[in-house]
Amino acid sequence: MRTVAGRSDRVVVIGAGFAGLSAALHLAGRGREVTVVERESWPGGRAGRLDVDGYRLDTGPTVLTMPDLIDDTFGAVGEDISARLELLPLDPAYRAVFADGSSLDVHSDPEHMAAAITEFADGTQAAGYRRLRDWLIRLYRTEFDGFIARNFDSPLSLLTPQLARLAAIGGFRKWDTMVKRYISDARLRRVFTFQSLYAGVAPQHALAVYAVIAYMDTVAGVFFPRGGMRALPDALAAAATDAGVRFHYGATVTELERTDCRVVAVRTDRGHEIDCDAVVLTTELPQTYALLGHRPRRLGNLRPAPSAVVVHVGCPRRHSEAAHHSIVFGDAWEQTFDDIVRDGRLMQDPSLLVTRPTASDSSLAPAGHDLFYVLAPAPNLTHSNIDWSSIGEEYAQYVVNLVEDRLLPGLCDGAHVLHAVTPADWARQGMAAGTPFALSHTFSQTGPFRPANVVRGVDNAVLAGSSTVPGVGVPTALISGRLAADRITGTVGHSTRRVITKAALR
């Protein structure tokens, strides 16, 4: 594995998102002197926050899986997750709501899930679920160490015994095809394939290796930090501070000073000049390459993932039966991917993620009120010509009305939109193509084919975050930070294999 040559005692990490915090903790745990520069006044990166009228909004990801990876990150500096953060297991992990009026609570416990499927469909589908679950566990065990949690120096790095095992269990077939082997009920199949939206590829086109995301949701389980998603980056940053990491908040990096092929200092708009032996950049790729003075020929050909409209709604508490997470499926599910990915238009029959964080922590809203987060997938800015300045407010209300019609009757009575974000807003926050999901996980943007976390011509710069390996999501961002640390220090012993094995056996 290629590593940074020369001294690496002093490292600057640019960005305090999950990848940057992970890199900082792993580097600090390996004896490096670490400084983190963050443009916002708080840690979290894409896991943003906003307080409105007594409501505490999480403006980034709301679905949290794989707590063992979080514990591994705290463990890099000798800490335990329980000392910093209370993670609440969600049961159900999701409630799936279908256009025909049926619904299914999704449990990570196999017995509870099999019983729910038997009642929802029949025993044959429940038996198929058990076989599918076994396959997902095998997929995860085969894939994790050899592909997800590994640095690649070239495509030849793929040629390992794990590759043959992954091919043998169907990892390079289509995701939807593999799920159909076990489950024939079309509604039920959606529960194990909708996650392909996170990867930015329709399930009938996505490789089955990405079904590992379904493993994370439906086998390893879904969790929520008390205090909201913001509590996780706050806890990671606090652990890093106690481990000696220095943070400069409210500072934007404006220049990387170089001597020959090495970055020797980082300058900010606040007048900081921080000397370094290595630098980790978690910024968006265009900004990263601009800072490095390096533009790969491939940059203009990269395919961004679809985007989303997110609407935050506050209302009097009258839906106490609503789950923490609900997936509201439209009838034309397959058409959704064509609309967003192929045609670059708004969903004609929308499917939505509806999150009610106050189901688990009532302190996130004023007394007697609920907070809802509604995510509607949408095309990114490079693949559509939608004028969000004209339709953004109207579309946000349309989405809220859909939630009232399909999931929460009477929602609009006394409810008000606290905040809404469109692809144009994501772009104003600096996210390339107006998407918070970075690059799609097509085959040509996976593993060693994804933008590498090392840069030719710059000997001591390493990348981390959603646009490099291994990809998009909170668990993968944490892994990305550890992979960046490995590029600087070399691989050290860590507990990932041990804790992941425990997670897989739940």
The pLDDT, as a whole number, for residue 334 is 84
Determine the topology of domain 1-88+224-301+439-505 in CATH. FAD/NAD(P)-binding domain (3.50.50)
> What is the Cα–Cα distance from 186 to 330, expressed in whole angstroms?
13
- Rounded (10°) CA dihedral 116, 218, 325, 334: -90
Question: Could you tell me the residue ranges of all domains in the chain?
Answer: 1-88+224-301+439-505, 111-219, 304-434
Structure tokens at 343: 């045609």
Residue with tokens 């949701």: 217
pLDDT tens string for the chain (506 positions)?
Answer: 999 999 999 999 999 999 999 999 999 999 999 999 999 999 999 999 999 999 999 999 999 999 999 999 999 999 999 999 999 999 999 999 999 999 999 999 999 999 999 999 999 999 999 999 999 999 999 999 888 999 988 887 777 888 899 999 999 999 999 999 999 999 999 999 999 887 788 899 899 999 999 999 999 999 999 999 999 999 999 999 999 999 999 999 999 999 999 999 999 999 999 999 999 999 999 999 999 998 776 666 899 999 999 999 999 999 999 999 999 999 998 899 899 999 999 999 999 999 999 999 999 999 999 999 999 999 999 999 999 999 999 999 999 999 999 999 999 999 999 999 999 999 999 999 999 999 998 888 988 889 999 998 999 999 999 999 999 999 999 999 999 999 999 998 654 433 333 333 23
pLDDT value at residue 132: 98
**DSSP class of residue 370?**
E
- Rounded to a whole number, what is the largest CA-CA distance in the chain? 67
- Nearest Cα to Cα of residue 95 among 187, 177, 179, 176: 187
The burial of 400, by beta-carbon neighbours within 10 Å (0-12 exposed, 13-18 middle, 19 or more buried), is given as buried
Residues present in the chain in total = 506
> Which residue has 């329709």 as its token pair?
202
* 302 contacts: CB under 8 Å, gap ≥ 6: 285, 439, 445, 451
Task: Report the C-alpha gap between 252 and 84 in whole angstroms.
Answer: 28
Intra-chain end-to-end CA distance of the chain, in Å = 33
